[in-house]
Structure formats: structure tokens, C-alpha cells
Amino acid sequence: MFTSHINLEGKHIGQEWWRCLAFVGCYTLLDYGYFRIPIETFINVIYYHGVVTVCADCINMLFPLEQVLARQNHLISVKADLEIVRGCDGAGVVFLIIAAILTFPAKMGRKLLGLILGVSLIYGLNLLRIGFLYFTIAYRPDLFSLIHTYLAPTLMVITGCAYFVWWAFGAVNQIHAQA
């Protein structure tokens, strides 16, 4: 039997457990839906239009001698062939931010703004990460595994967590200012 205890502020402690379960459930549903998307859709639509062409255009604009081509889920040049695969798209961090914001006690308008800014931040950071990985594999392939496996994902998660903390403090301050 589930019981709820009252803490010093008069809130039910059980609410935090339900919020935690809602967070895990939300993240799980997003992740489940993500893995239900056919890989062909990722390769030919999502990665090609949303990641690879954007990165290739940015690299070619800033470094025209690279002559990077976008082919399905690959950034290709004479120096490198970087393949974008499921899991290397920042989706896990986006799902963490979405689940955290949706289950945080804040007004819907604040949540919507938090979602738009958070998803945009991680999308932009992921584009930078992929561009950096392209240059790493092209010019320092010995560092690729370290950066791709450890440093870049850690930076993405830390940035996502820092963003959520920043957003949550703003949401809490907004609630307290109105009280």
C-alpha cells in the first residue's frame, strides 16, 4: 500500500516519487517511439535533411576547400567519411530534457518555451559535435574514438543537465514571484 508522508513544507513526499516515475515513463515512451522509426526514414529523411546537409553546408561555407558532400547519412570528402547512425543524433539528451521539463511543476507556457529552447540548444550543439567529429576523423583519426565515445556525449549530457537546471530555477522563481 502506498502511503504519503507530509514533510516540513506541508507537501506530500509521495508526489516526488510520482514525478520521478512520470519522468522515467516519459523518457521510456520517447525512446520506444524513437526505435520504432524505420532506419530508412532516418537515413533518407531525418539524418539527410536535418543533420547531414546542414553540416555539409556549414563546413563548406566556413572551409570551402573541404568540399564535403552529403550522401544519405554520410558526410563525405576526400579526407573522411563520417556516418551518422541512430544514437549519434543527440536524441537521448533531447529525450532527457523533454521528460524533465514535462514532469517539472511549471506553467504550460514556461514548459513550451523550455522545450523549444532546450531542443534547439541540443540540436545546435549536436550539429557542432558532428562537424567537430568530421574534422577529427579527417585530421586526427587517432582521437576520434575518445572524442566520439567519451568526451562529446559527456559534454552533451552535461549541457542538457545545465540547461534544465537553468530553466528549472527560472520556472521556480517565476512561481515564487507570483505568490
Q: What would the pLDDT profile of 62-76 be if each residue is shown by its tens digit?
A: 999 999 999 999 999
Q: Please tell me the least confidently modeled range out of 4-13, 42-51, 84-93.
A: 4-13
Is pLDDT of 34 > 60?
yes
CA 43, CA 26: separation in Å to the nearest integer?
A: 25
SS3 149: helix
143 φ, ψ to 5°? Answer: -95, -5
- pTM higher than the cut 0.85: yes
pLDDT in the model for residue 13 = 59
How crowded is residue 121: how many other Cβ atoms within 10 Å of its Cβ? 19
Joined grid coordinates for residue 110: 514556461
Mean pLDDT of the chain: 91
Paired with 67 in beta bridges are none
Joined grid coordinates for residue 114: 523550455
Q: Which residues contact 157 (CB under 8 A, 6 or more apart)?
A: 93, 96
CA 89, CA 47: separation in Å to the nearest integer?
A: 8
- Look at residues 99, 101, 103, 111 and name the one whose alpha carbon lies nearest to residue 165: 101
Is pLDDT of 1 > 60?
no
Joined grid coordinates for residue 143: 582521437
Split at pLDDT 50, 70, 90, the class of 15 is confident
Helix, strand, coil % (nearest 5) of the chain? 75, 5, 20
Split at pLDDT 50, 70, 90, the class of 3 is very low
Is pLDDT of 102 > 50?
yes
Contact 123, 97 (CB under 8 A): no
